[in-house]
Structure 1
């Protein structure tokens, strides 16, 4: 028996290596490598020139069609899509959380399956669907980000609920409290900081996602970016990219500082 275990340990790393290499070969064999276009070098250097010679006049014009307005719309889409979905995700999280030691919990299994189905659709696919349903604009972007965020945050929230310390709940029950008392006085205060932490982290991701939703007509700074790329207005492309980088960096810094105080 020990010889079999020893032999298995010896061949295990090699077996894993062979499987990983086989997966890589299979993956690359299904990708048609068409090479790099002749215009790629020209486009790259054009974008770089735009970054070093941005169109500063586009930053603010006061007509609502400038970079500041587009960035503010992007932030509004990310904010609404994230924080409204964070509230909606809470009941889904309690539905999916496994709160007992049974091997199979139908309620939890159904909740996890539901959240998985919601997470299947990427934001861009949802944005395309919602632009067809409600028309192009920021509203479609909010719906796309919100729908996807419910699935993501519901999963994270449910894991936080599963890892909560059950001692305070048992103490409340022993003192004659109800299950609702335990939820309000023990479970929810315990998981609330983690809920806020996950929400802020998701907001950071949503800001990045909202920056490209405009490419498919869902509002935000993506729309002027794809238009500038299409018209080869490289100085306009440069200032939009600079604006996105600055916005994402500032949001990441502020969110990081808030999350440090919550944890």
Structure 2
């Protein structure tokens, strides 16, 4: 077997990475850069420096604060639905739970792959046709997508967990259900909780865009403001989203720290 010099190997990796970038950007239309204007960009930034604070809360239920709260609620309920409904697929997809049957885990993983293949916006468009426009369509869109995302991550953690406690339970006569509750779940619960909190944050960011297609939340206000070139309103919406995500990141980080 021919051994390759480490320096040559690094050089080949760099060349391969450069070729990959070139291949991916080859068909991009770079001529659009000729339309870019620093003056227009600076003008937009200047306009966004004066947020419409009066639109933050006016008691109408259609203000920024009310719609941001709705967005967080959509993400929370959607994540809760995805967490609960992904658990049966985790039990089907984990290879260490089906050591004598390799087909069932493959089927379970294929279903999870299919569910997370489509972004939330696609699901939102579908559910708007099914249940009508509004927050419920957004909840279903996030929930179904989270089934695939959380199911994949939960399955990976289940498959790489320490099997020693499980074997100890089997040694004293415990069955599969007992080992699940007394050996697997206690070991995986902190990790699963951390993943759920992380995907709740992701769900908030996703829910912020679902309003673009009529699935409730703050996205509808954002797209209307962009279409109307109301930069002050765009500014207060974006500022609210940034602050909300920052506060949620601090809160979930605190909870994760307590779970360690």
TM > 0.5 between the two?
yes
1:228-239 pair list within 5 angstroms: 228-239=225-236
1:80 matched to 2:77? The reply is yes
Aligned residue number for residue 180 of structure 1: 177
> In the alignment, is the contact (CA less than 8 A) between 2:91 and 2:97 conserved in 1?
no
**Any stretches of 5+ residues in structure 1 without a counterpart?**
none
Q: After alignment, is 19-28 or 216-225 more displaced?
A: 19-28
Aligned residue number for residue 90 of structure 1: 87
Aligned residue number for residue 105 of structure 2: 108
> In the alignment, is the contact (CA less than 8 A) between 1:130 and 1:140 conserved in 2?
yes
1:122 matched to 2:144? The reply is no
1:50-199 pair list within 5 angstroms: 50-99=47-96, 105-199=102-196
TM score, norm. by length of structure 2 = 0.92
Matched residue SS, 1:5: coil
- Runs of 4 or more, structure 1, over 4 Å off, are 37-43, 100-104
CA distance in 1, matches of 2:43, 2:36: 10
1:5 matched to 2:3? The reply is yes
Q: CA deviation at 1:200?
A: 0.2
TM score, norm. by length of structure 1 = 0.91
CA distance in 1, matches of 2:101, 2:179: 24
Q: CA deviation at 1:44?
A: 3.2
> In the alignment, is the contact (CA less than 8 A) between 1:46 and 1:234 conserved in 2?
no
Count, aligned residues: 260
| RMSD of aligned residue pairs (Cα, Å) | 2.2
Alignment counterpart, residue 29 of structure 2, candidates 24, 28, 32: 32
> In the alignment, is the contact (CA less than 8 A) between 1:115 and 1:155 conserved in 2?
yes
